[in-house]
Structure 1
Amino acid sequence: MGENEAGLPNMALQGKKMAYHKVKADLRTSGHSQYLDSDDLQATALDLEWDMEKELEEPSFDQFQTDNAEHQNLGHSETLDLHLDSIQPATSPKGRFQRLQEESDCVTHYTRSAPKNNHCNFCYLLKILCIATTLFIFGIIIGYYAHMNCPSDASPSGTNNPQLYQDILKTIKAEDIKKSFRNLLQVYDSEDDMEISKKIKSHWIALGLEDTQFINYSVLLDCPGPSPGTITVSSTGQCFYPDGQPCREEARRGQSQDLFYSYAAYSAKGTLQADVIDVSYGTMDDLKRITKLKNTTNQIALLKLGKLPLLYKISLLEKAGFGGALLYIDPCDAPESAVLSSEPFMVTLNPGGDPSTPGYPSHDESFRQSRPNLTSLLVQPISASLATVLISSPKLRMDKDVCRPLELPHNEKRTVSLQVQTVTKFKTVSNVVGYLRGLTSPDRYIIVGSNHHAGHSYNGQEWASSTAVITAFIEALMLRVKKGWRPERTVVFCSWGGTPWGKIGSYEWGEDFAKILQKNAVAYVSIHSPIRGNSTLYPVASPSLQQLVLEKNKFNCVRRAQCPGANVSSVQIQGDAEYFVNHLGVPTVQFAYEDIKALEGPSFLSEAIFPKHATKIEELDPSFNLHEVITKLSGEVILQIANDPVLPFNALDIALGVQNSLKDNEPSVPNLLALASKLRDSAELFQSDEMRPANDPKERVPSRVRMLNDILQDLEKNFLVQRVPPGFYRNILYHLDEKTSQFSILKEAWEQCIPETSNETLQEALSTVLNSINSAHTFFKTGLDVFESVLLEKN
């Protein structure tokens, strides 16, 4: 047994020494007792040593075996000096050594240790009691001060708390929005938008949004020239300004600066004398009809705004060989709330961003391309009154109170001289960006965007309306933040500059932070021109957000006396949401009040930017109650997206939207329909199996929820395509307008393909749509496979 014992750890030896020392000490002490003689003592010692060896030899106690030499030394030493009172009985882990102190011959005669042991136990208990009492007192003190520093009404983050949202939004008042609106209008006359930007920044910081900053870009702007554009009728020599007034100095002075701002930004410059050809709305059918009747080479098109994106119609005019275009809005198409017959307006021919740095941000060291104009056409917006003069047929306008569209008779000829004078120059465009950091997911961004006034242009009062709305929500939100609450995800508030020239501020910021936004942007909430009419609420949302928007609108209708039903559609919208929809594939939502006639009439009339007095916001909403509704609806959506553990995006609605876009498709494509059906099946499975964490907190495993949210926020990226007609969205989930249910690129390709023997354009469009649907289907399947593997590993 010696070899095995020699290799054991010293700690075991020390424990065994304690047991033996106790026995030996007892025996030595007993040598002076009158109750035992020496023979009895020796016999007892031998018996005890034999018992110890016997127990140590049992297999279950191998770990407690001692070295043989040590055992001999302990068993026979006569000089070991031990103090009985300072040594406690040794105990084995199983309690089997305790009987060494329970022998009747030892314990009954040596009771000195009992009082000492009881005294120690009492001290030990007293020490524990003191420590516990001290910790309890400290706990009360810490809890008291923690309660003092944390307000009682600060709700815990991480939960969908509708009552919390209502508490935040109830502080939004129409009177406050009206006051903010009027204050903004008092300082917007500056030619430099930095003054407005500084006011917005200082106001946001004062409200508590301390992480607010300027982000500036030097960009190429196309500004009014030294004199406004002119249109001269060759047959009479009459010269007109774009508003229809004669070219006289007094008329020019009377119109102030508005006359200069009636132009098409980034149009070609110069003078063109040619015949005017009425192309109506400039659709593919209109141009097919015109080109069969007349020679359009280097002629001037009389073009109505609406029905299709202006950039697309300009591209068709270029292909047809036109040299110029006069743009106007037919009075029959104008909303009742707008009196536009004599109003000049501005348009932009810029698809987005700084023209000198297409696709990349405009930093000082960036390479600049020379692009003073973005079209070969001379383009000039004119008022409806001037269009009537050119047509020379006033009797066509009204017939027994029925509006008849303006139209130039085909057998009449009009020759005019068109002069366009604009100047391109580099100017600073300023964005104001404020961050409210998220608590648990600060790397996920909900972006809220409005726009502010830009110098060298006019964009009505809409900018003040949208800025007042976003500021009112910031104020309500920061009141809660000051009480200790924070959203789960980061909310980024943006006031964009350069919007009239082609969403320049938002495009440049998006290009600057593209890598981050592609991964981290969750949603975009647009607050662009929220009051365009006062008759109906007009929400626009991505397919994945339509259900959420309907829920919020229905809930708010219950609380309002008058609430007409609102249909949610996914259509192209004006404003700075375009970059986030087209290049990032971010789910987007926008609320606005519209005129019913504007919704029933041609789309894309909002591409025209009118002067400040054309749209009178306070006449449309004198009490600013509509502003309050827009603020609260937008705020509820922002709060829910920013706080729900699982993003409130509906994957199945995307699949249903795809199927609906193919129902009335011409021509019918069976393989597309079959693939869309598979997409719906996979979306249904994803919705039923993977959306459980949205409803059951027990299912919210952090890693699983994170992966689920990543899939939800990236769904629409599968429908971004590279090549689309000018002015069309690259995100094919969005239609041109409410009247069109087809995929926009398929509809355009089909119309273009009809007169041609080759269907190459149509086949390319079909292939693009098919690839997008297949990509989304694969995306769903991959997501399901990932979750299944995670669950298997967990089990």
Structure 2
Amino acid sequence: MDPNSGTVALLETARALSAVANATGWRPRRTIAFCSVDAEEFGLIGSTEFAEEYLKVLQQRAVALINVDVGVKGHVTLLATATPSLYQTLIRAAKTVPNPNQGEVALGRATVYDSWIYYFPNDSFVPEQPRMRVPDSGSDQSTFLSFVGVPSAYLTYFCDPTIKRDCYELYHTMFEVPWTIETYIDPGYKALTAMTQLWTEIARDLSDTLVIPFDVNDYATVLSLAVKQLNVYLNSKIIPSIITTYPMIMSNLFNSSDRFTTVANNLQLVVDGINSGKKSASLRQVEMLNSRLMGLERTFINDRGLYPQREAARHVLFATSIHDHYSGTMGAGVYDSVEYYLAAVQNNDVTQQQFWLQRIEITISELHNTLDRVFGWCLNGERSALAPLSRALDNPNKSPLQHAVAGVERSKSESDQLPLADVQRPSSKKTGNVGFNGVNTAECLRDLHLLEKRRLSGEYPILNEAGLDLDP
């Protein structure tokens, strides 16, 4: 189960995508890397070492990380945590995957998305979007997001959340064997197959869409909500009556959030217009847009960390609280500082009170400065890329990348300027349903279990990783 059900999904995703590539000649516009890291249970050691070792490369080239650790804990609905820019990517993929649970299908929930939105409604955010939790540190995506700034998501298939019980009572016991999955958790491996289909479609969408399909609007909405919640929390702790500059720094924070919302709306219109084929764009404009979108998450990284005691947690918006290293928190640097201040008040430690009050003020200002930096990052992209795009609408025939958006034949000279060969790109439905087989999944899981038993007995020194690079 943990992590072999996720490893099985990884191997089947790699096999299915390579089968599509071999059968059709398809190649993704961006490299898809299949990674497996070790020592997660001992403190995310493998993923942390990898992220720190290849920090510069990841900052320059990583688009997103989709992590599946425990592939199935049940067979009823999807459960996801994700950064806001990935919300729409996950939703689009979930709408293409048939529901593996026939009981759910009988109730009119035909796709993975239908069960997901039913069991995890999001009334306080956007009604048509399932509720996705704040990214946490429960698995290997943590370091990539909080230290590097790579947009990340974690996926698992879950039991009925309306039943108040532990979803998987046998977690981390000797009963985590294939028989348990086959008999109780996921008979027929239908949910695990659906998880693999979902993961594959997400990979295809992120790697092959002309402009990286991030949703900046969702990010702006979540940011605005986080700022409002922070203000309510600080007022509940009487902080405004203690910090004299509070009205000014919070006003600056709200203004920065509003400015980011405005520019995010404009940026998203262009991204959606190009990817839908309604707008044309030159190669240079597409590259500039992708550069802005890739760098968006990185602008939230503070190289010094949240505060002196937490240099390794560098994402000013998404990080775990010092009081809960497992769950994610939006604006953890501010919340931690408030909790430390309140503890100093209880201990009657005046020096620590003054220190943490100053940290609260500094951390709010740093969050405001970060939002201004994010706003500036998007706006610079808008001035250099979005304005020419609007002019291209008046002269669509002059766009050197019109063929990439609308499928127009291009010349040899144009083809030489593009990063990949001219190949037929299969539709998402074709890619999302090629070669998935529950029998293959079951056999793979049993093989992994046998390999692990042999490794533990000393017959094999290591359990080898599996990887595939589809970059031509």
Equivalent pair of 2:256/2:368 in contact (CA under 8 Å): no
- Does 2:335 align with 1:747? yes
Partner in structure 2 of residue 688 of structure 1: 266
- The answer on 1:664 being equivalent to 2:259 is no
1:757-772 to 2 correspondences below 5 Å: 757=350, 758-772=353-367
Quick one: higher RCO (CA 8 Å, sep 6+), 1 or 2?
2
Q: 1:777 to 1:480 in 2, by over 3 A?
A: same
Say whether residues 1:716 and 2:268 are aligned partners: no
Match for residue 733 of structure 1 among 317, 320, 326: 317
Residues 590 and 513 of structure 1: is their aligned pair in 2 closer, same or farther, counting only changes over 3 Å?
same
Aligned residue number for residue 640 of structure 1: 205
The answer on whether the counterparts of 1:546 and 1:569 sit within 8 Å (CA) in structure 2 is no
1:570 to 134, 138, 141: 134
The DSSP-based 3-state class of the residue aligned with 1:493 is: coil
Distance 1:764 1:506, change over 3 A: same
Please give the per-residue CA displacement for 1:234-263, whole angstroms capped at 9, x wherever unaligned: xxxxxxxxxxxxxxxxxxxxxxxxxxxxxx
- 1:35-74, Cα deviation, whole Å (9 max, x unpaired): xxxxxxxxxxxxxxxxxxxxxxxxxxxxxxxxxxxxxxxx
Does the 8 Å CA contact 1:540/1:590 hold for their aligned counterparts?
yes
Which amino acid in the other structure matches residue 744 of structure 1? Answer: A
CA contact (8 A) 1:591 1:633 kept: no
The 5 A counterparts of 1:79-90 are none
Aligned to 1:581: 145
Name the residue aligned to 1:620. Answer: 185
* Partners of 1:591 and 1:644 in 2: CA distance: 21
Report if the CA contact (8 A) 1:537-1:564 is conserved. yes
Matched, 1:611 2:161: no
SS for the counterpart of 1:610 is: coil
Q: What are the within-5 Å matches in structure 2 for residues 286-301 of structure 1?
A: none
Q: Would the alpha carbon gap of residues 622 and 579 (structure 1) be closer, same or farther in structure 2, given more than 3 Å must change?
A: same
Aligned partner of 1:702 in structure 2 is 283
8 Å contact kept, 2:93–2:202: yes
Instruction: Name the CA shift for 1:592/1:766 in 2 (closer, same or farther; >3 Å).
Output: farther
- Measured in 1, the distance between the counterparts of 2:332 and 2:382 equals 34
Correspondence list, 1:520-535, <5 A = 520-535=61-76
Question: Residues 137 and 328 of structure 2 are in contact (CA less than 8 Å); yes or no, is this contact kept in structure 1?
Answer: no
Aligned alpha-carbon RMSD (Å): 3.6
Of 352, 372, 395 in structure 2, the residue corresponding to residue 777 of structure 1 is 372
Name the larger-Rg structure.
1
Q: Secondary structure at the match of 1:593?
A: strand
Which residue is equivalent to 2:408? none
Amino acid aligned to 1:779: V
User: Does the CA contact (< 8 Å) of 2:70 and 2:156 recur in 1?
Assistant: yes
How far apart, CA to CA, are the structure 2 residues paired with 1:549 and 1:793?
Answer: 30
Quote the offset at 1:464 in angstroms.
Answer: 1.7
User: What is the CA distance between 1:499 and its match in structure 2?
Assistant: 2.3
Contact 1:545 1:588 in 2 (8 A): yes
Is 1:678 the counterpart of 2:256? The answer is yes
Contact 1:690–1:708 (CA<8 Å) still a contact in 2?
A: no
Amino acid in structure 1 at the alignment position of 2:379: L
Q: Deviation above 4 Å: which 4+ runs of structure 1? A: 595-603, 724-729, 735-742, 789-795
Match in the other structure for 2:442 = none
Does the aligned pair in 2 maintain the 1:488–1:643 contact within 8 Å? yes
| Distance in structure 1 (CA, Å) of the matches to 2:32 and 2:147 | 20
Assess if the C-alpha contact under 8 Å between 2:146 and 2:318 holds in 1: no
- The Cα offsets for residues 686-722 of structure 1, whole Å up to 9 and x where unpaired, read as 4325642532344321111111111111212222340
Q: AA paired with 2:331?
A: F
| Distance verdict in 2 for CA 1:530–1:765, change over 3 Å | farther
**2:260 touches 2:375 (CA, 8 Å); kept in 1?**
yes
Normalised by the length of structure 1, the TM-score is: 0.38
Q: Partner residue of 1:424?
A: none
Map 1:472-487 onto structure 2 (within 5 A).
472-482=12-22, 483-487=24-28
Do the aligned partners of residues 770 and 593 (structure 1) sit closer, same or farther apart at CA in structure 2, a change above 3 Å counting?
farther
Distance 1:638 1:517 in 2: 17
Measure, in 2, the Cα distance between the counterparts of 1:729 and 1:629: 34
Distance in 2 of aligned mates of 1:789 and 1:626: 45
Cα distance, 1:633 vs. partner? 1.6
Tell me the distance in 1 between the aligned counterparts of 2:313 and 2:158. 22
5+ residue gaps, structure 2, are 100-108, 121-130, 236-245, 392-472
Question: Share of identical aligned residues, percent?
Answer: 23
The offset of 1:599, in angstroms, is: 10
Distance 1:602 1:529, change over 3 A: closer
Structure 1 partner of 2:448: none
- Structure number with the higher strand fraction is 1
The residue identity in structure 2 corresponding to 1:715 is L
Alignment coverage as a number of residue pairs: 333
C-alpha distance in 2 between matches for 1:602 and 1:678: 41
Partner in structure 2 of residue 412 of structure 1:
none
Q: Deviations over 1:122-142 (max 9, x none)?
A: xxxxxxxxxxxxxxxxxxxxx
CA offset at residue 521 of structure 1? 0.6
CA distance in structure 1 between the aligned counterparts of 2:329 and 2:225, rounded to whole angstroms: 7
Q: Is the 8 A contact 2:289 2:385 kept in 1?
A: no
- TM, length-normalised to structure 2: 0.61
Paired amino acid for 2:342: I
The answer to whether the 8 A contact 1:506-1:579 is kept is yes
Note if contact 1:498-1:505 (Cα within 8 Å) is conserved in structure 2. yes
Deviation at 1:759, TM superposition (A): 4.5
Contact 2:306 2:315 in 1 (8 A): no
Tell me: CA distance 1:547–1:569, structure 2 relative to 1, closer, same or farther (3 Å): farther
